[in-house]
Amino acid sequence: MFFIVKKIIFIATFFSFSSFLLAKTYETIRQSEIYQNQNCQITQSCSLKSFEILVKDLDIQGSFGRNLKSRVYLRYTTDSVDNLLKFGIVQFIRGCMWESTKDSFHFGTVREFFGRQNVKFIHPQMVIDSIDVDPLYNSWLITKPSHTRHDLYRWNSVAGSYSEDSESLYYQKLPLVPVLYVRDTPGSASYYEEAESATNTSLEFISCVYKIEDIPLISTPQGMGQEKALKCFNWQSSNVFNHATKKFEKLPIVSPICNSPQAYAQANDIDGQLKDSSTWQKKMEEQNRGVLDKLQWSHQSVLDGRVRSQTVAIVGAEINPANFLGMIDQNKKEIPDNSFDDDGNGYVDDYNGLNLFLGNGTNYGTHNSANGLHETRVASMVALISAYDETRPHPIKILPITVDSFDGKSDDLYFKRVADAIDYAVLRGARVINMSFGISETYRTFFKFIDGDYEKSRTYLQNAIDRAFAQGVIILGASSNDIARNQDLEKEFPANLPNVLSISGISENAILTRAFGKIIKTATYSENLYLYDGGDSLVGASGTSYATPIIAAYAAIMLAKNPEMDSAEVGQRILQASVGPIIGRRKISSGYFLPNLFLKDE
């Protein structure tokens, strides 16, 4: 239970220069509340001592006109500095800002919202108030992956003070006191006499403190509520100009303008902009329609009926989790970004996957390197085939595991990292492992190996594959892209290793366009595909790297419908469905993969 303490409200007047004009500023404390976290055993939050809010109204008057704004301070105190990162603040917002004259109004004010620039400041319904996809208020995780989520939180060396002269940001200097706070000025209303125009604000907020494990790392604007909040404050910022009286009014509720048809029309457009993943997925459907028709693919053909969630581990280079909202297999036993191995699995902060090159789950690299884009494209193919749509729960998850050094080279631990990635995927419960890369035995002189021993390195990798296979995991490896390569003679790893299902590529005319040989188990479409490249863009690409996740996705769909199946059964079903006739003299051990035959009777 929380207990409330009310503070005294006062008014202060002072002078400041604004645009070289002498302006008079009236400052009023409108709301000040403190909640003491007593009887905290029920929520297991006793390290949180208090949570408080301070709202100031600022009225700036000068020869230019009048400017009104509200400034909020949200502060929490813990029992020690070590427990500060165990809590965080999420703010929710409803309302809008608009411009008005005596006879008209329009929505011209824009803001940054969920990773988008220049979004109209219109929220007819309550949504998370965040500039990026991390709902934590004032977070820095997505835009600066090397930092912590709390890096823009503030602390003050003077007890109880919010003075900028004595405050520091978390990332600049670690706190010496167990207090963190955020501050914001969410909107500014103004009236310009010469133009007889006004900017209006009508906003309501719910500001809540949570345990950090209850704040997801990635969300959508309506992706979480207040049910897990330890405490919430309600407050408003309302300054609406009445052109008849030429005075600002503070409305007790959100202005009807924020719920007008014009507002909803533009807010719906915002929602459309924010559905990045849904948008690119639909674009992929359109651009890959020829291949999807060949696969006889449809939404109904893949995930209709009752299914159980399954995970595809994607081993290779980096994947930005922000690009696959709701599709990342998050490690709920790990508290993100606290630099601690919470679940004791040997890896720190592996919440959204693991970076084995760096040895943790915090840094996903630059997200825009050539290598990183490769695995983003791979993941997008899994998303496409499994009918991913970030606006609803998706049963097929992806687990990003980075083994790449991002410098185009492979060091002496590359084989070991691939093996460790397989072990980690099994540990995390993945039933399908996609490896869209290959290490050619012909070029093994370019690699260094564990203790300088090639056979030892290959055995280390094979043992990891065998362990996974014994646990019922199906592993898929891309064959070489070299159309002239006989992979029986010129081996490719891991595709050539036992218990790995090797995948080659065909054109839409069923001509084998990539490596051949009896060691290759099946093939599917690999040419002239359109894949997600991050942001809003698609890119044309070809290769076995993108054929392999097609079959990986279908394997996950089969397991979602039949979770009792093991790797041998799924592999056998894939081979039984690989009877499509390949055109030409170059062959593999079977035909090409027919998804409808694979899913028949399922």
Residues 289 and 268 placed together within one structural domain of the fold: no
Cα-Cα end-to-end distance for the chain: 51
Residues 126 and 249 placed together within one structural domain of the fold: yes
| Interval 384-400: pLDDT, tens | 999 887 656 678 999 99
CB within 8 A of 451, min separation 6: which ones? none
Residues 212 and 311 placed together within one structural domain of the fold: no
CB within 8 A of 16, min separation 6: which ones? 23, 25, 60
Domain end marker among 249, 273, 297: 273
3-state helix/strand/coil string of 409-425: CCCCCHHHHHHHHHHHH
Residues 194 and 311 placed together within one structural domain of the fold: no
C-alpha–C-alpha distance, residues 516 and 480, integer Å: 9
| Interval 324-344: pLDDT, tens | 877 899 888 888 777 888 888
Residues 208 and 249 placed together within one structural domain of the fold: yes
Residue 280 lies in a domain: no
Residue 438 lies in a domain: yes
Lowest mean pLDDT among 62-71, 88-97, 439-448: 439-448
**What number of other Cβ atoms are within 10 A of residue 409's Cβ?**
10
**pLDDT surpasses 70 at 405:** no
CB within 8 A of 42, min separation 6: which ones? none
What local confidence, expressed as pLDDT, does residue 271 receive?
46
Residue with tokens 């040989």: 517
| Interval 534-592: pLDDT, tens | 766 788 899 999 999 999 999 999 999 899 998 899 999 999 999 999 999 999 999 99
Contact 154, 167 (CB under 8 A): yes
Residues 232 and 361 placed together within one structural domain of the fold: no
Contact 349, 334 (CB under 8 A): yes
Residue 84 lies in a domain: yes
Residues 202 and 316 placed together within one structural domain of the fold: no
| Interval 288-309: pLDDT, tens | 999 999 999 987 666 666 678 8
Residue 370 lies in a domain: yes
Lowest mean pLDDT among 95-99, 274-278, 287-291: 274-278
Residues 465 and 580 placed together within one structural domain of the fold: yes
Lowest mean pLDDT among 13-17, 37-41, 359-363, 475-479: 13-17
Domain end marker among 253, 273, 293: 273
CB within 8 A of 123, min separation 6: which ones? 93, 94, 95, 96, 258, 267
Residues 236 and 379 placed together within one structural domain of the fold: no
What is the percent of the chain with per-residue pLDDT over 90, rounded to a whole number?
Answer: 56
In terms of Cα–Cα distance, which of 43, 180, 206, 26 is closest to 127?
A: 206
More confident residue, 172 or 54: 54
What local confidence, expressed as pLDDT, does residue 92 receive?
98
Residue 395 lies in a domain: yes
Q: Domain containing 486: what range?
A: 285-598
Residue 7 lies in a domain: yes
What local confidence, expressed as pLDDT, does residue 306 receive?
64
The CATH number linked to 340 is: 3.40.50.200
Domain end marker among 244, 273, 302: 273
Sign of the four-CA dihedral 256, 260, 262, 267? positive
Q: Could you list the beta-strand ranges (E) of 213-302.
A: 231-242, 247-249
Residue 278 lies in a domain: no
Residues 96 and 190 placed together within one structural domain of the fold: yes
Total domains in the fold of the chain: 2
Return mean pLDDT, the chain. 85
In terms of Cα–Cα distance, which of 458, 455, 495, 499 is closest to 477?
A: 495
Lowest mean pLDDT among 27-31, 59-63, 77-81: 59-63
As a dihedral over the C-alpha atoms of residue 586, residue 591, residue 595, residue 596, rounded to 10 degrees, the angle is: 130
| Interval 6-34: pLDDT, tens | 333 333 433 333 343 456 889 999 999 99
Residues 256 and 294 placed together within one structural domain of the fold: no
What local confidence, expressed as pLDDT, does residue 147 receive?
57
Residues 185 and 296 placed together within one structural domain of the fold: no
pLDDT confidence band for 282 (50 / 70 / 90)? confident
Residue 279 lies in a domain: no
**pLDDT surpasses 90 at 452:** no
